[in-house]
Amino acid sequence: MNNTTLLNLAGTWGTPLYVYEGDKIEEKVNELRAAFAGVPMKIKYACKANTNISVLSLMRTLGVEVDVVSPQEMHLALKAGFAPEQITFTSSGVGFEEIEECLSHGVLINVDNLSAMEKFGQKYGSSRPLFLRIRPNVEGGGNLKISTGHGNSKFGIPVEQKEEILKLVNRYNLNIVGLHQHTGSDIKDGETFIRAAEVMFSLAMSFGNLRYLDFGGGFKVAYREGDAVTDMKDLGDKLSARFQDFCKAYGRELELWFEPGKFLVSESGFLLAQVNVVKNNPNGTLLGLNTGLNHLIRPMMYDAYHDVINISKAGLPARKKYNVVGYMCETDDIAKDRELPETEEGDILAIRNAGAYGFTMASQYNSRFRPAEVLVYRGEEYLIRRRETLDDILKNQVLITF
Ligand code: LLP
């Protein structure tokens, strides 16, 4: 999205503001489809990345289905118009009542532990299809906090427990229709996907009734120019070939599923904020914004790099290095040592790659409002979340006067 459009949006809707470019989401959907055009592939958007119901609605229009991790996400997906059979609940250590709730809406259930398999078997036997999340013991992901497939991870049923899994399947005659794995987020090396897939292929041979293999999400996107990303074309060629070999050996054509979050929405998003203060400290110049870790926690939580541009000074040469910080009463770094044009108070900065895990991880910390959200698609702009007000902060609070 160009800087003038962003600046106009900031003018219309105020800051801080999340902006999403629907056309970019569509482009990413098409890129993934093109890479796997040779196999029956379905995209199950990992909606934890961005659950705005209008983003979900756009995904649905684009023919994407959805992966949810809580009953609440399921309700948002239903609200956005997804049919229950387009929704998978990938549960991770949840109470069994959440599985029951999602099942009561007709959603496909994915369980990640033997105890849940046992409870599912006792209650439903073979009457409902079931997915199993497997821990393949493959290390993947940009940092340990977002790695999920390794041998010390809490996620999935360890593949070495194959005998226990099969015992439960036989005891309850479970109808296992799919196997699932997700090794982590920010995986740039396509080989990681292939290694995890090989684990799934060999385990899959022990199940007679599979329809789907879900290889999770985690594709790495570029956070700065020149960043290494997952080579989708190369992964598409290699994994599709291996998948076809597997289907032949298995004796049935399965569907290949992915559940990307970042890949679909990260680059579509911008967090727009205003420079409240330019602070010339002896050890460097700080730009203090009207946003912070309450709206975008990724820099503080993962040391994540987010590109920052001064859209009020677009086209002017970078003159100076700045540290960009938030307005929270807490250390709140957004970006360090960034070369920007000479920046003044009142300028609008755009923080890039804010479409995934931005708003969904935002909070009301410091009793501040969460931002409004705008979606731009095919030349139209839509307000898809109003800015919060004091009523939102007071909602559910109970005042006792003593
Ligand atoms: N499937 C499962 C089961 C997952 O747990 C996740 C993400 C995904 C798919 C999508 O992963 P993605 O394609 O977005 O990398 N808040 C962190 C990322 C946490 C990811 C958690 N699981 C961040 O901002 O980097």
- Structural domains of the chain sorted by starting position, each given as residue range(s) with its CATH number in brackets: 23-262 (3.20.20.10), 266-394 (2.40.37.10)
Residue 247 among the catalytic residues: no
What number does the ligand 1 atom closest to the CA of 186 have? 15
pLDDT score of 206: 97
Between 33-47, 129-143, 304-318, 387-401, the lowest mean confidence (pLDDT) is in 129-143
Chain segment 129-148, per-residue pLDDT in tens: 999 999 988 877 777 777 77
Chain segment 175-200, per-residue pLDDT in tens: 999 999 998 888 888 888 999 999 99
Distance CA 38, CA 41 (A): 8
| Dihedral angle sign, alpha carbons of residues 379, 362, 395, 81 | positive
Q: For residue 69, how far is its CA from the centre of ligand 1 (angstroms)?
A: 11
Q: Exposed e or buried b for every residue in 63-92, given b needs 16+ CB within 10 A?
A: ebbbbbbbbebbebbbebebeeebbbbbbb
Query: Among all chains, which residue has been given the structure tokens 């999920």?
Result: 148
Joined tokens for residue 10: 């900031």
pLDDT score of 390: 98
Q: Do you find a cis peptide bond into 16, omega within 30 degrees of 0?
A: yes
- State if residue 182 touches ligand 1 by the CB under 6 angstroms criterion: yes
Contact present, 41 and 232 (Cβ < 8 Å): no
- Band (328; pLDDT cuts 50, 70, 90): very high
- State if residue 263 touches ligand 1 by the CB under 6 angstroms criterion: yes
- Which one of 25, 29, 48, 68 would you pick to mutate in the ligand 1 pocket, going by the greatest count of ligand atoms within 8 A of its CB? 48
What number does the ligand 1 atom closest to the CA of 304 have? 25
Q: For residue 249, how far is its CA from the centre of ligand 1 (angstroms)?
A: 31
Joined tokens for residue 366: 């410091």
Q: For residue 239, how far is its CA from the centre of ligand 1 (angstroms)?
A: 20
- State if residue 261 touches ligand 1 by the CB under 6 angstroms criterion: yes
- State if residue 217 touches ligand 1 by the CB under 6 angstroms criterion: yes
Q: For residue 218, how far is its CA from the centre of ligand 1 (angstroms)?
A: 6
Q: For residue 340, how far is its CA from the centre of ligand 1 (angstroms)?
A: 31
Distance CA 385, CA 365 (A): 19
Q: Which residues pair with 179 in a beta bridge?
A: 132, 213
- Beta strands in 231-295, from DSSP E residues, in sequence order: 255-258, 269-281, 284-289
Closest residue by Cα to residue 314 from 350, 280, 352: 350
- Band (298; pLDDT cuts 50, 70, 90): very high
Between 185-189, 226-230, 303-307, 311-315, the lowest mean confidence (pLDDT) is in 185-189
Global pTM value: 0.97
What number does the ligand 1 atom closest to the CA of 49 have? 14
Between 9-23, 134-148, 169-183, 295-309, the lowest mean confidence (pLDDT) is in 134-148
Joined tokens for residue 75: 């309700």
Closest residue by Cα to residue 290 from 277, 302, 273: 273
Query: Among all chains, which residue has been given the structure tokens 């409240």?
Result: 276
Strands 333-340 and 348-352: unpaired
pLDDT score of 22: 98
Distance CA 269, CA 383 (A): 14
Query: Helix, strand, coil % (nearest 5) of the chain?
Result: 35, 25, 40
Chain segment 153-177, per-residue pLDDT in tens: 888 999 999 999 999 999 999 999 9
Query: Among all chains, which residue has been given the structure tokens 């110049």?
Result: 285
Distance CA 216, CA 127 (A): 26
Q: Which residues contact 112 (CB under 8 A, 6 or more apart)?
A: 90, 91, 92, 93, 132, 133, 155, 156, 157
- State if residue 260 touches ligand 1 by the CB under 6 angstroms criterion: yes
